A and B are shown apart, each in its own frame.
Chain A
């Protein structure tokens, strides 16, 4: 990335001495000022200097402030657990709108690789508003993540039906292990960055430096195996009616589509984010009410002939 010009740094310093350390992460004065305002608004004055110094080392802002807004709720963030992304926020909001139309009074959701617990908590919060009883069984392999998710659960309204446990998607008996009674919908934001891309810089379809430096590799690196396990261990044995998985590459959606070719009742589609990148693969069983998820898709795969 291009070096910060001394002129820019001087200009920032003339506005506030707290501004120059923010330039490294933000690149422009306008963005840095916005971030400084957030820091000033959310932290006590004696922590401002420490915060901007941490930002100079590219520590994610969400770890510094300790939380991130996610839809209508606020989710706590701690180092060691992946920060919820705005793309995830967008599809969860979309999905909750669709599920509100579909669900009558009760719904059972399984969320794999839950991290901060943002997906099940927002879904439960939104569905609670319209009076739908939700039972969510969410799990993550990381102990830190489950502890944080439980902390988050206490601060979110309407989340009494959410249950966080330690569990591994690669466990064949995961459904028994977490004691799931009923699966209607499976959601997940599994690691989806292949290791060869994880090593690359942002300019070669790699990842941002602050992500590589401070966010857990465990939550980022993966390719097709997670989708295979999700389908094999949860969707098919649990007789789920629909699923939504976040993806990073179109090949991953194709992989899911190829796997479900043997199941004639399943249809698969793709949801794109605001930058028109493929972001979700959505699947539903045509014999159920979840056919409505079709409206969410930007692209549909041809059903098997």
Chain B
């Protein structure tokens, strides 16, 4: 049969579009649950690093540079590892975050201080507060992404509605034109 506009395809699209159309009453948006809005504390309002817990006479500091044997001008090492042992508790902390030994020493002391604080009061220590904050940030992130997904889905549906309208328009045209041709004949 003569089919200049491919009605078969259009009807297919139409069918899909019809499938996606919501019932008329669905424009009423479901009420969002008014869950407890947990505020994320500011990053600069965390408890301070408890550096006072680290006493220099209670720790043993060792510098570990990679490789044994020859050194000096013969070999060019890049890493610098600092290992701290807290003598009263036996906690061992290592740090090789930076290339600079001085920075690693500082950072190792911070790490040790956090561990000691955690040992002292596990609930209100900086580490625990940081952990809690990280959890909240993660939650709010997942919430945001869910919201985004929902939005994009809705947009897709509205687009298919438009296609549906467009399809109707074309079929109308087609019928009109076919009527015209019969009249001419």
Contact = CB atoms under 8 A, between A and B. Distances in A.
Interface of A: 31, 34-35, 38, 60-62, 68-69, 71-72, 74, 82-83, 85-90, 189, 191-193, 197, 202, 205-208, 210-211, 215, 219-220, 246, 248, 273-275, 277, 279
B80 interface: yes
B100 interface: yes
A72 B76 contact: no
9 contacts: A62-B78, A68-B99, A69-B99, A71-B101, A85-B77, A86-B65, A197-B74, A215-B76, A220-B73
B74 A72 contact: no
8 nearest A-B pairs in the assembled complex, by CB-CB distance = A69-B100, A207-B74, A208-B75, A61-B78, A87-B72, A248-B72, A60-B76, A87-B71
B172 interface: no
B85 to A, nearest CB: 16
Interface string B74-101: 1111111000000000000000101111
A269 B74 CA distance: 23
Given A34-B79, A62-B78, A86-B65, A279 B101 contact: no
Given A211-B73, A273-B71, 6 more contacts: A31-B79, A38-B99, A72-B102, A74-B100, A207-B75, A275-B71
Nearest to A211: B76
Consensus secondary structure, chain B interface: loop
Contacts of A72: 102
B68 to A, nearest CB: 6
Nearest to A37: B97
Contacts of A273: 71-72
Interface string B44-73: 000000000000000000011111111111
A191 B66 CA distance: 23
B74 A193 contact: yes
B103 interface: yes
Nearest to A85: B72
Contacts of B66: 31
B74 A69 contact: no
Contacts of B101: 69, 71, 86, 89
- The winner among B64, B74, B75, B100 for most chain A CB atoms within 10 A is B74
B95 to A, nearest CB: 12
B6 to A, nearest CB: 46
Most buried by A among B68, B76, B77: B76
A206 B70 CA distance: 9
Contacts of A207: 70, 73-75
A88 B75 CA distance: 12
A86 B76 CA distance: 8
